[in-house]
């Protein structure tokens, strides 16, 4: 017997535990549901409606050329406009530089002419008379750009005239001293533009020597207003520098050889002599110097944490070999190319309008074109789901109509085949259940005291399974398993099976082999595999003291736990040779007492709930008067201690 039990213990099906069953019922079910949902979502994502394909083709054909053409045209326009802006800037700074050069050259000529006039007159002796200073002052009044004019003899007193509202005498003398310090030959000296603090104006100092042969006898020094340069770089509008850049206008300013502003649309920048070397275009001019007269120098600046592309150009204004000025123009590239951006926006708007029109028209015509196909797809989905009640509506006279008619004919044929298969399946099921019931009845019929036992156990088990909320297919497995739970008794000797009294130890040991014998019989039939747990393990106990394997707790499948409770209940509530059947309340009390040792609490709770709602009633097999007198003898108030032939022994 031990060898037999060990052999069956090794069977994969028998080793299935309640934990694994719960894993299938809960975890696996949830996993399958999750996988099913994911599969459905993936299928929906992979499945592209024909309507969308048609609309996509319409949009692709209609909008793609328009969008590509718009992008190409806007890019070419941007390049052309950028080149035009660059040429305009180059011409602008070159023109401003020439104006400054001409202005400087004009007053170079004025100072040089005075110096040559003194040389022709034989020196500066004419300035010794009393009216010389007055004549110098009149010269200033005739030219408002002359701020100061001085005749500086090598020996003698300096004669000067200046506009006192624009410059002080000390500032005039300081400028004279600075420029004469650099005079050593016949060359004209031009100083860098400097601010006149008293008059808040930029002034340019020009000096020319008065020669007597090879000797310098005097110098003519003029302080010229640099206001004309300001007028050159100042725009006609009243906008600030930032506003001009935001509007896409060029900002022009002048820097000296040190990179400091000497003329700027913002006067405060020039008067502060602010360094402009933070601009890349100024750095490029300082590096090139007079080698390049005019050049374009695009660059970027950081403004409010953003990198902004700028258009830049510069030109050199040569006042003197040693006095070079840089005329710089900068412009916000994005603002300058605003017209291109507007053109892109217009292209986008036109494309959007065309897309909307294409979508509306395309949706209408594509819907008419794809509707029959969608109906066919929906009908195929219904058929796949088992619904054969509807047919495809056939319209028009195209090939789709022929397809619809063929589809409807196919549906009719499939529906007839399915109905035939359903009838055959139902007949097979009824045949199967009839065979099982007949087999169970044949087994029960061997003992008059157990007649109808398997059928009752089956009904009790089904009611309990429903109370546990099992699925329909699991309930059906419980039903058949309960019907066949004692099928192994067909191999038990009738002398033991029909013994009117209690079984001795040898007989009881043989009786305990009926689960293995039933398993051996039914395991040869592949279709019976799913019913084997209830047949084979319905005598297992929660505490591990049952048979044939001694399983306990979660190792016992739910199917076996249900059949075990139903089997014991029927044994307790029906009359047997060795005991009289218990009433319902007493039997249920016994079941409750054995929860945790023999029975599962959930199963017992479901069983009791089914009794309370009337789904389960004790089925009593009553004996004839002669049988009672022969076998029962006096009534036994409690379960016997001696070995018995059914579940009552385990209860005891």
Q: Is residue 265 within 8 Å of 253, Cβ to Cβ?
A: yes
pLDDT for residue 646: 46
- Digit-coded pLDDT (tens) for 353-392: 877 777 777 777 777 777 777 777 777 777 777 777 777 7
What the block records as the tokens of 32 is 């399958």
Residue 220 phi, psi (nearest 5)? -100, 120
Q: Is residue 244 within 8 Å of 262, Cβ to Cβ?
A: no
Q: Is the pLDDT of residue 335 over 60?
A: yes
pLDDT for residue 541: 93
Residue 293 CA to residue 276 CA, distance in Å, equals 19
In the three-class reduction of DSSP (H, G, I as helix; E, B as strand; rest coil), residue 65 is classed as helix
Q: Which of 338-347, 422-431, 571-580 has the lowest mean pLDDT?
A: 338-347
Between CA 516 and CA 524, with CA 518 as vertex, the angle to 5 degrees is: 100
Which band of pLDDT confidence, cut at 50, 70 and 90, is reported for residue 235?
low
Euclidean distance between the first and the last CA atom of the chain, given in angstroms as a whole number: 24
Which band of pLDDT confidence, cut at 50, 70 and 90, is reported for residue 643?
very low
The per-residue DSSP string of 330-388 comes to EEEHHHHTHHHHHHHHHHHHHHHHHHHHHHHHHHHHHHHHHHHHHHHHHHHHHHHTT--
Residue 83 CA to residue 67 CA, distance in Å, equals 24
Q: What is the mean pLDDT of residues 504-532?
A: 86
Q: Is the pLDDT of residue 647 over 70?
A: no
Distances (CA, A) of 314 to 7, 88, 197, 229: 101, 12, 29, 15
Estimate the crossing angle of helix 584-593 against helix 558-573, to 10 degrees. Answer: 140
Q: What is the DSSP letter of 27?
A: I
285 Rama sector, left if φ>0, alpha if ψ -120 to 50, beta otherwise: alpha
Q: Is the pLDDT of residue 25 over 50?
A: no
Residue 457 CA to residue 288 CA, distance in Å, equals 108
Q: What number of other Cβ atoms are within 10 A of residue 593's Cβ?
A: 12
Q: Which residue has the higher pLDDT, 40 or 196?
A: 196
pLDDT for residue 602: 94
Q: Is the pLDDT of residue 338 over 80?
A: no
- Of 129, 194, 203, the C-alpha closest to 159 is 129
Q: What is the mean pLDDT of residues 484-491?
A: 84
- Digit-coded pLDDT (tens) for 245-261: 888 788 889 998 888 99
Which band of pLDDT confidence, cut at 50, 70 and 90, is reported for residue 11?
very low
Q: Which residue has the higher pLDDT, 429 or 159?
A: 159
Residue 175 CA to residue 501 CA, distance in Å, equals 145
Q: Which of 220-224, 285-289, 444-448 has the lowest mean pLDDT?
A: 444-448
Residue 351 CA to residue 346 CA, distance in Å, equals 8
Give the strand pairing for 201-212 and 189-190.
antiparallel
Residue 62 CA to residue 568 CA, distance in Å, equals 80
Q: Is the pLDDT of residue 606 over 90?
A: yes
- Digit-coded pLDDT (tens) for 121-171: 776 666 656 567 777 788 778 888 888 988 888 887 788 888 888 888 888
Q: Is residue 186 within 8 Å of 247, Cβ to Cβ?
A: no
Q: Is the pLDDT of residue 492 over 80?
A: yes
pLDDT for residue 491: 82
pLDDT for residue 546: 92
Domains and CATH numbers, the chain: 2-37+449-651 (1.10.3210.10)
- H or E element: which one contains 153? strand 146-153
E runs forming strands in 503-608:
none
Q: Is the pLDDT of residue 556 over 90?
A: yes
pLDDT for residue 37: 53
Q: Is residue 63 within 8 Å of 355, Cβ to Cβ?
A: yes
Q: Is the pLDDT of residue 4 over 50?
A: no
- Digit-coded pLDDT (tens) for 53-109: 777 777 777 667 767 777 777 777 777 777 777 788 888 888 888 888 888 888 889
pLDDT for residue 88: 81
pLDDT for residue 463: 92
Residue 177 CA to residue 514 CA, distance in Å, equals 134
pLDDT for residue 438: 77
- Of 45, 48, 44, 50, the C-alpha closest to 365 is 50
- Digit-coded pLDDT (tens) for 164-217: 888 888 888 898 888 888 887 788 888 888 888 887 888 889 999 988 878 888
What the block records as the tokens of 429 is 């099921």
- Mean pLDDT for the chain? 77
- Digit-coded pLDDT (tens) for 454-469: 888 989 999 999 999 9
pLDDT for residue 400: 67
Which band of pLDDT confidence, cut at 50, 70 and 90, is reported for residue 340?
low
E runs forming strands in 498-636:
none
pLDDT for residue 652: 36
Q: What is the DSSP letter of 199?
A: T
Q: What is the mean pLDDT of residues 43-61?
A: 65
pLDDT for residue 650: 37
pLDDT for residue 467: 92
Q: What is the mean pLDDT of residues 498-511?
A: 83
Q: Is the pLDDT of residue 604 over 90?
A: yes
Which band of pLDDT confidence, cut at 50, 70 and 90, is reported for residue 561?
very high
Query: 401: exposed, middle or buried (C-beta count within 10 Å: 0-12, 13-18, 19+)?
Result: middle
């Amino acid at each position: 017997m031990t060898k037999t039990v060990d052999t069956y213990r090794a069977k994969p099906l028998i080793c299935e535990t309640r934990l694994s069953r719960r894993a299938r019922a809960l975890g696996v079910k949830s996993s399958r549901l999750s996988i099913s949902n994911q599969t459905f979502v993936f299928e929906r994502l992979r499945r592209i409606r024909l309507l969308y394909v048609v609309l996509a083709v319409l949009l692709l054909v209609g909008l793609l050329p328009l969008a590509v053409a718009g992008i190409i045209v806007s890019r070419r326009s941007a390049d052309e406009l950028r080149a035009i802006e660059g040429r305009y800037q180059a011409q602008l700074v070159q023109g401003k530089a020439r104006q400054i050069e001409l202005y400087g050259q004009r007053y170079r000529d004025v100072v040089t002419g005075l110096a040559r006039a003194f040389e022709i007159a034989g020196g500066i002796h004419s300035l010794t008379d009393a009216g010389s200073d007055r004549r110098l002052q009149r010269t200033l009044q005739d030219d408002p750009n002359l701020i100061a004019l001085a005749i500086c003899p090598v020996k003698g007193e300096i004669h000067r005239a200046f506009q006192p509202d624009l410059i002080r005498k000390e500032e005039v003398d300081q400028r004279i001293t600075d420029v004469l310090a650099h005079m050593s030959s016949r060359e004209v000296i031009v100083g860098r533009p400097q601010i006149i603090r008293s008059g808040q104006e930029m002034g340019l100092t020009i000096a020319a020597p008065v020669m007597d042969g090879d000797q310098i006898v005097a110098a003519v020094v003029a302080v010229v207003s640099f206001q004309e340069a300001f007028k050159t770089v100042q725009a006609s509008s009243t906008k600030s520098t930032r506003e001009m850049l935001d509007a896409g206008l060029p900002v022009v300013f002048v820097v000296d050889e040190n990179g400091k502003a000497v003329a700027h649309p913002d006067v405060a920048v020039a008067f502060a002599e602010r360094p402009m070397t933070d601009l890349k275009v100024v750095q490029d001019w300082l590096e090139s110097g007079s080698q390049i007269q005019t050049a374009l120098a695009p660059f970027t600046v950081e403004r409010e944490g953003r990198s902004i592309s700028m258009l830049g150009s510069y030109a050199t204004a040569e006042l003197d070999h040693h006095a070079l000025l840089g005329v710089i123009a900068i412009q916000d590239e994005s603002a300058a190319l605003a017209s291109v951006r507007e053109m892109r926006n217009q292209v986008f708007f036109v494309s959007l309008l065309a897309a909307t029109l294409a979508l509306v028209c395309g949706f209408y015509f594509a819907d008419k074109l794809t509707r029959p196909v969608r109906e066919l797809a929906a009908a195929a989905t219904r058929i796949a789901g088992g619904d054969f009640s509807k047919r495809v509506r056939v319209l028009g006279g195209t090939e789709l109509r022929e397809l619809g008619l063929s589809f409807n004919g196919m549906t009719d044929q499939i529906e007839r085949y399915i109905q035939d298969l359903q009838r055959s399946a139902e007949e097979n099921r009824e045949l199967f259940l009839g065979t099982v019931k007949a087999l169970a009845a044949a087994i029960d019929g061997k003992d008059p005291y157990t007649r109808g036992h398997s059928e009752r156990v089956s009904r009790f088990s089904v009611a309990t399974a429903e109370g546990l909320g099992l699925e329909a297919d699991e309930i059906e497995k419980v039903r058949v398993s309960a019907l066949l739970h004692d099928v192994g008794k067909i191999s038990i000797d009738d002398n033991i099976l029909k013994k009117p009294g209690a079984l001795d130890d040898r007989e009881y040991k043989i009786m305990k082999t009926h689960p293995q014998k039933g398993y051996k019989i039914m395991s040869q039939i592949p279709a019976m595999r799913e019913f084997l747990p209830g047949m084979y393990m319905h005598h297992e106990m929660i505490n591990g003291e049952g048979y044939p394997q001694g399983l306990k707790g979660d190792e016992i499948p739910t199917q076996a736990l249900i059949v075990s409770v139903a089997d014991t209940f029927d044994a307790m509530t029906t009359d047997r040779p060795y005991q009289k059947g218990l009433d319902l309340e007493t039997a249920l009390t016994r079941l409750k007492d054995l929860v945790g040792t023999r029975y599962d609490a959930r199963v017992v709770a479901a069983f009791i709930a089914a009794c309370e709602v009337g789904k389960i009633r004790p089925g009593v097999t009553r004996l004839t008067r002669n049988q009672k007198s022969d076998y029962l003898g006096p009534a036994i108030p409690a379960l016997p201690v001696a070995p018995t032939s059914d579940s009552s022994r385990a209860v005891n």
